[in-house]
Amino acid sequence: MSPSGTGAPAAPVARNAVAIKNFAFTPATLKVKVGTTVTWTNQDGDSHTVTSAGAGGPLHSAAMATHDTYSYTFTKPGTYAYLCTIHPFMTATVEVT
């Protein structure tokens, strides 16, 4: 799973996947093209959500248990900030171009 290279910060393994691990979204900033379906996978023992920050955002998963996944297809360009409502110190963004 983890990149074997050293030195520079690790690039995301897959360009449309976000891991939820150790109470953080990885990568914290994901850049995708319009039309990409992004999938979040909870690898933690505790539950998390993927929820848009602010009102009206498109992301709102249910509480995801361990190994649960959540997917969303981004159809419009923009910067999508989101967090885990259970642990709102967990924040990240998806940049869609």
Interface residue list for another protein (CB under 8 A): 22-24, 45-47, 49, 51, 53-54, 60, 62-63, 83, 85-91
The CB-of-16 to another protein minimum distance in angstroms stands at: 24
DSSP-derived pairing of the beta strands 17-21 and 78-83: unpaired
Q: How far is CA 25 from the centre of its chain?
A: 5
State the virtual CA torsion across 26, 65, 89, 23 in degrees, nearest 10: -50
The reply, when asked if residue 87 is annotated as ligand binding, is yes
The reply, when asked if residue 64 is annotated as ligand binding, is no
Residue from 29, 14, 34, 39 nearest 91 by CA: 29
The CB-of-94 to another protein minimum distance in angstroms stands at: 17
The CB-of-15 to another protein minimum distance in angstroms stands at: 26
For another protein, the closer CB: 48 or 96:
48
